[in-house]
Structure 1
Amino acid sequence: MSEPLQEPSQTTLSDQITALSPTILRDFEVALERAGSALLLDDLSRKQVLTHARDILARTAAQVGGHPTPVVQPGLAREIGADRAATNTSPTESLRAANLLFATVVRRVAATVDGPHATDHLILTALTLHEILTHTLRVAADAYVGVLLNRIHRAQIEERRHISRELHDRIGHGIGVAQRQLELSEIYWAADQDRALSRLRAAQHGLTGTLEAVRHAIAGLRLVEPVHGLEKALRLFLDSTATPELIHDIQVNGDESWVPATLIEETFLIVREALRNTVTHAQAQLVMVRIDLAPDQLQATVVDDGQGFDPAAGHRGTGLLSMKERASLLGGSLSLISRVGGGTHIELRLPVEGDTG
């Protein structure tokens, strides 16, 4: 009578993973360095990613050893997700790190375990590690998105405050002045018609300026023909906000029907903010916009010859942050190159997928 198959020694496997942990962590750090991971750009991020990897290995060892633990430490994963958002680090960096850790663990365990149950041990390790990594990435991603949504909410509040200031300072003031001129015209009419007419002309001039301010506000808030009017909308925005001295060239290549209408609108908002910065801060003589549409990708560049700035010194307001967050939430990226006196180059890349109807 043959002997029954023995179950894999999970306790032994747990001990092996624990003993391998220092070597795995060293291999993992080397793999991150070779991949040029953004997670190693500063000491804090390096310490964080290695501490997290050590925690994941400890949990993997515990679970394969038959000592159930939560598959993820929510506090640490949430902190990492929030920090990635705070430093504008793409979520793909975390996914790449998870893949490198998984490959490192599997390679080391495969080279170490032996015996009749070596394959079972390797499969158990891989499945357990995959479960822990999946849950970790999900918790971190939720925290990442939460931070971005909160920032966008704050940016929206700031935009509303900006609109309120514009309405009060420009439109409200202009209407108030025109109303006062009309009142004075009525007062002067009986005794001095020339003076009254002067007040009427002043009121007319004030209302004309106020009407232009209203048109300016509308152009900044609305996307005209959102599905098939990207180029037209951007030209309208520049025509209503830029000085005649600013030369601008806008090119939109490709068919907008390839791209979902919501993505076209988000692209408009991002590019419009870049142009707003050019008009407001750059003191540029030339700005060029090129948008290339394809069934799988949207790419946009905004280049000006303005005074530029030092990105390392920070940026003014929430405009650039809002642009980056919009791009990130859409699964894309936004990069900026600028130097003092050397103009600014902004590049937006967005994946295109889903129904375009």
Structure 2
Amino acid sequence: MSSTLLDEYRLRLEEIKSPLVADDATWHSCALQAERVIRDCAESLRHCRAEVRGTLIQQVQTLGTERVTKGIDAVHSIRAGIILFDLVFDAIAGAMMSSPDELDCFKAAIRTLQQGIGKRLEAGALGHDIYLLNTVREVNAASYRQLAREIHDHLGNHVSLALRQLELHEMTMDAGPHEVSARIGAVKETLTESLGIIRDLVTQLRRADREGTLESAFAAFLESMEITPSQVRIQVNGSEEWATQHVLDEVFLVVRECLRNALAHADAEHVLAAVDIAPYRLHALIEDDGRGFDVSAVAVTGTANGIASVTERVELLGGSILLTSDPKAGGTRVTVTVPLMDLPGDSVEPAS
């Protein structure tokens, strides 16, 4: 059934002239994700249990980045997702015609279909956003480097030349005209201070191209915990200049606590932490493949001090936090959103 659905899927995409079937490589990556969705739905239908293999979905984030670099807009992924949903839904409904009493299995398969496509679209959109944020950061960094070169090559050289000319002039003067000498000394002092300011400015501009405070803090944390990059992957996308130092410090503490929980309590083999900083909001995602837990049960017992702490920190920033976990299938996912400034027409106070 899978090959038949994939053939129909490609035909439908060709009918709308989707760029996802424009070449074999792009179609192969698209078909691979569709095949995984179909396989998960078939397993859910067979076992009457909704289950999406989330560890494979993270690959779609890279796929979203690859598509935007090829000029494929995110809307084409959404259209493809709608087509795939229709095709698989019809196939599931057709399979249930012979077993109309197994309604629970039908519900499980449909839930898997919805989650499988939805999570992949979300991951692809995240990859698209990461590409845009990093492009903006690279453009800003290039602008800083250009400005640093202009200051050093033009202004710096002119000031150095003027200072040298004054020094030569001072050497040829008689000792008599003390007033002129004093004026020249003042000019020299001013130019020397100007050179110092220029050097400091150039240093600051070049420093903007280095690792940001969050990246450095996370790197130091992983090193202190002796955590290997293969176990924990951390990404900071966008420009940290869009957030205040207070917000960055609080977000670091929140993400660090989530990482500790995943490693200490969930026994996770792999953990992903991604912090995306845009001009108007900061979004953080922490996801692991460890043992899940019953979020509501833990909240009732009041034993989750770490969860209470990070929730309070996020809320004090004016943000929101969502924690989901599955004690049966495993895995925990934490999403944090913090507003950085008012959008036009908003009445919400900016985070400080």
How does the TM-score come out when normalised to structure 1?
A: 0.44
Task: Give the TM-score, by structure 2 length.
Answer: 0.45
